[in-house]
Structure 1
Amino acid sequence: MESNLTVKAPTIHRARLAWSLYINYFIHGFGLIILSQNMTSLGAAWNSPLKIVSFVISGVGIGRLLSYLITGFLADLFSRKAFVLLGMSAYLAFAIGIPFSHNIYVAYFFAILAGIANSALDAGTYTTFVELNGGNGAATILIKAFMSAGEFVLPLLIAQLTANGLWFGWSFMTMAALVVINFVLILPLSFPLPNQSPAQEGSGEKKVKPNWVTMIALVLYGYTSMAVMIWFTQWISLFAADSLNFSDGQAHFLLSLYSLGSISGVMLIFALVNHH
């Protein structure tokens, strides 16, 4: 006997939800480089050499590695909105915790939280964009543009703090404030129900066998390109200041220029994808 009860689809404010999700990745752009851009100040605060600060930064990757394989499954099983809010909460704890940490082990814990935040945001965001657009994933390309925008703004902010002799922690407090504001904006919004993109079951389409060579090649490409990006963004400002005799402002601005190139590439790819 069929039940007469039906699940009422939530009212989706598509534009507001999309912008809130994009803002999360603007904040994530801060999170990706905020430790490396403050390495000297953090080393002084922790009374530790740069290699120890670099070790703490590795905690972000550990956090991602520990959580990435399960967050997507759990977000599908429970709630994508919950995982977006979880990611934002973890980033808030990271942004507040790092500048007040005087122990590298505590700082390492907060760095791991940043990695978990990244995984949780990805788990709840990418699928949401696909479902918001009826199965079309082109909107997810712009996520990288907003990340790069955050990476463009943060070095300029840190350069201003340094030039005016202000506490380095204000960059973290700015990140925390952005998280809180966006949390308030996104909390009342409804997310699309899971698996609302056009169904493939029963469509008569033949399942495509995975191409393992292509899959492995893409995994290796993704790993190496991400590794090069992290290596570059972590050390370019220090290299410019120590080896090229750039001023602090010029060294930070160098990373902002890199981010401009990243934004340009993303927008070009987005235009090409939409054109086809």
Structure 2
Amino acid sequence: MDLSSALRETQQCVDGTYDHEGVTCCLCAAGTFVEKHCTATTPIGKCTSCREKTYNSHPNFQESCESCTSCSQPNANLELDVSCTRARDATCRCKKDHFCGSKETCILCFPCKECTEGVKVACTATNNTVCSEKTEGGNTTGLIVGLTLLFVLIIVIGLLAFFFWIRKRNRNNTPEEGRNDLEIPSLQKPLLERNLPDIAEIIGWTDMKDVATRSGMRDTTIENCKLNHVGNAREQTLELLQEFVQEKGSQAQTTLIQTLKNSGKRRIAERVVAKLNSSA
């Protein structure tokens, strides 16, 4: 048995081992990172505690720690639930009177619905308010007003349908590339964390970078996303999209679709909307 193996056996690598340049080294414990790998001549490596606002939650051989999650992103309506430690990331929760539409890690909360006819199910951290239905035998004035508004709405919808039919007929000879002002189907569901990988794949790095630049994101943020995943455009796009959502908050999905549309990427915008509306 050589010296390095003997020392590691004595040391009892309680968190496991990893191979580095042909030498078996001990993993660093949670809450630390590898400052210096072990070698054949220096059989015991050096682990250092994660610095402030960073963490590693598992035994590892990383040469740095992960940045703690921030719960103070503007417009995200989040607040700190559990503080970050060297061995555990921070967790966020929705502010009072807000809810998250995702059962997974939440990055954006929405205001709870306000009811005029009473609350059937109260708003929680993961579900919006459910309002009570209007009781029978109510004020007939309200019923008359409602029917009148419905009648007016039907007329307006009919006029709009006619207008768009005339508009479409008059533009039949317009080239497809010059029709970026066509209406895109409206969003029916909020932007959730689980949607981001699919949306990032639809948009791609070049167009996502263009959206970020047009929407005013800092060049350093964009460049960091690229450098964090050199040669992996998919991960670059996903990280930049996550940064975009955190920065834009509740306006993220609207800003994303409108920016794609205004930059001549109507087909991509339509695919993003279709993906969001079809998500479970």
Do Structure 1 and Structure 2 share a fold, with TM-score over 0.5? no
Give the strand-richer structure, 1 or 2.
Answer: 2
Give the helix-richer structure, 1 or 2. 1
TM-score where L is the length of structure 2: 0.21
- Could you state the TM-score of these two structures normalised by the residue count of structure 1? 0.22
RCO greater where, 1 or 2, for CA within 8 Å and sep 6 or more? 1
The structure with more radius of gyration? 2
